[in-house]
A and B are shown apart, each in its own frame.
Chain A
Amino acid sequence: MSDILEHLRKEYQSVPIPEELDLIVNRSIKQALHTRKAKRLKVKGMTVAAAILVFLIAINASTTVANALASIPGVERIIKVLTLQEFKVKDSNYEADIKVPAITNMENKELQLGLNQKYLAESKALYAQFQAEIEELKKQGLNDAHVGIDAGYEVKTDNDTILSIGRYFLQTAASSSTVMQFDTIDKKNQRLITLPMLFKDDQYIKLVSDNILAQMKEQMKNDDGKIYWIAGATDYISKEETFSSIKKDQSFYINEDGKLVIVFNKYEVAPGSMGLPEFIIPTDAIQGDLVSNHYIK
């Protein structure tokens, strides 16, 4: 009997495995995970929103808390940025450090909450994406792949009129990529400043772009080590990929001197070795199109 069973077992196992099995299995898992995630985020989104509310109420309701956080004596409320939450993972191969900024003490609570929620949501998404990537690597058996993520923020400017926060997302895999995003807040009027808002019309796009192009050329002339992807500078980049104009809502901040600073992400206008190029735009170059010299001096 046992050899008959053995025979049957062999027969059973000789059922050919179709090629598409792998594909179907992986796709089904992914789809199911996706459905699950969608469900989970719904619930989580609500708890997160609730958590932020509680946190902000604590800051705004208790002067002790607010003072401690703003580290300034008195009852005066000062808009500040502080680290709300930090996600951390540290493994021999995987490393993540995500700091979530939170803005406090704004009178325009709607804007404050909106910004803080955006920060938290983006950090969460980033963290989830990172975890998914690790899982994927582990699944593929690539246990010694090194990946890391580092996200945080820096306060670029904090004076009486404005608060500029830059948030960076640094991803390390084989090579690293960095993305930087900025928010500039008008402290007095309690509103978010956008690039088009600073100008009377769309002329600024050309004014700023021309100035940057001139700066790029100047820098390349003076320093052989600098490369920007602009027409005529390199022959290995196709024409469509060369930089000719900034986007209408290009990343920017306003520095301590009240100058407009345009920022590009890694690989956006130059090779990775150039990092995140920043260009300070002389106010003279854009004066004609500025709405006022309230923000930009």
Chain B
Amino acid sequence: MNRKSEQILTNCITENKENIYRLAYSYVKNKEDALDIVQDSIYKAMTSIELLKDSTVVKSWFYRIVVNTSLDFLRKHKRVHPMDQEKLEFYALGAEDSYMDIDLVRTLADLPPKYREVVVLRYFEDMKIEEVAEVLQENVNTVKTRLYQALRLLRMKLKDSSLKETNG
């Protein structure tokens, strides 16, 4: 049984490694920390596989570990996230055309984590509402509400920035 779950989990990790990296990145915003989180999450998952009762939910179980590890990390390293070199250069050299994109990225990044994570999981990771709820350990209705609020916030922020743009 354990061998089988081990295999299932290993497959899940290798198949989703890029996604979990991005998910971690969406919390910590820099490469080194995101890689650390990936590493920690794999270790945590593999060594506590006995806690996974139902191997059909392995993906959401593993994502949950990534989310929790990321949140733990942020809690431990409470700080304003520094910009990494890549991003700095990106901003510094930003061509006029890419302003809109930057605003969008910043818009998402500026969302409080609890809103951002539902958007990321639901729309970028293509998870079902139920799966998102599973990952975040919230009930389905909470997730739906948050998603709705997140979209409203996004819309407002975008309106703000486009207003500024036309005014400026």
Chain A residues within CB distance 8 Å of chain B: 1, 4-5, 7-9, 11-13, 15-18, 20-22, 24-25, 28-29, 31-33, 35-36, 40, 135, 139
Contacts and interface: CB of A to CB of B under 8 A. Distances in A.
Contact of A12 (B7, B22, B158): B22
A25 B123 contact: no
B138 interface: no
Contacts, number: 88
Given A7-B104, A11-B105, A29-B13, A21 B21 contact: yes
B42 interface: yes
Which DSSP category, helix, strand, loop or mixed, fits chain A's interface?
Answer: helix
B73 interface: no
B43 A31 contact: yes
A8 B17 CA distance: 20
B21 A32 contact: no
Contacts of A11: 101, 104-105, 108
Contacts of A20: 35
Q: Nearest 3 CB-CB pairs, A to B?
A: A32-B46, A28-B42, A12-B124
Contacts of A25: 13-14, 17, 38-39, 42
A16 B25 CA distance: 10
Interface in B92-145: 101, 104-105, 107-108, 119-120, 123-124
Given A32-B43, A36-B47, A135-B7, A12 B108 contact: yes
Interface residues of B, number: 36
A135 B4 CA distance: 12
B155 interface: yes
A8 B151 CA distance: 12
Contacts of A40: 2
Contacts of B21: 15, 17-18, 21
B39 A28 contact: yes
B31 interface: yes
Contact of B14 (A13, A17, A24, A139): A139
A87 B101 CA distance: 60
Contacts of B6: 33, 36
Interface string B8-42: 00100110011001100110000100010011001
Contacts of A17: 18, 21-22
Given A1-B151, A9-B123, A15-B25, A29 B7 contact: no
B98 to A, nearest CB: 11
